[in-house]
Structure 1
Amino acid sequence: MLFSTFTLSKTLLYYKGGEFKADGPWKHKEMFHKGDYELIFCIKDPLYLQVGNERLTLRQNEILIVPPFTTMVGYKKSANVDFYWVHFFSQQQEKMLNVQAQDLFSKIQNKDSDHTDKQLYLPMQFKLVDYEQTTILIHQILSIHNELSFIEERDYLVSALLIQLYNSYWHHFDLSDDESSRIDYVKEWIRANISNTLTVAEIAEKVHLNPDYLTRLFKHCTGMSTLKYLNHIKIEVATLLLIRTEMSIKEIAYNSYFNDPKVFMRRFKSEMGLSPSEYRKSYNLIHLNNPHVDPQIPIPKRIADSIDYIPENGSIPE
Structure 2
Amino acid sequence: MAVEKESTLEVEGASLYTKSWEPEGPIKAKLIFIHGFSDHINRYYGFFPSLAACGIAVYGFDQRGWGRSVKKPADRGLTGPTSRVIADMVAFIEPHLSDAPGAPPVFIMGHSMGGGQVLTLACDEQYQDRIVSRVRGWLLESPFIGFAPELKPGFIKVYGGRFASKIFPHRQMVNQIPPEDLSRDPEVQKSIAADELLHNTGTLEGLSGMLDRTDGLTRGTIRPVGGENTKIKAIWLGHGSSDKATDYNASKRYYDRVIASTVKDRMFKRYEGWFHQLHADGPCSEEFYKDVGDWILERSEDPDSGKFEAKI
TM interval, shorter chain, is under 0.3
Greater relative contact order, per chain length (Cα 8 Å cut-off, separation 6+)? 1
Normalised to the residue count of structure 2, the TM-score between the two structures is 0.27
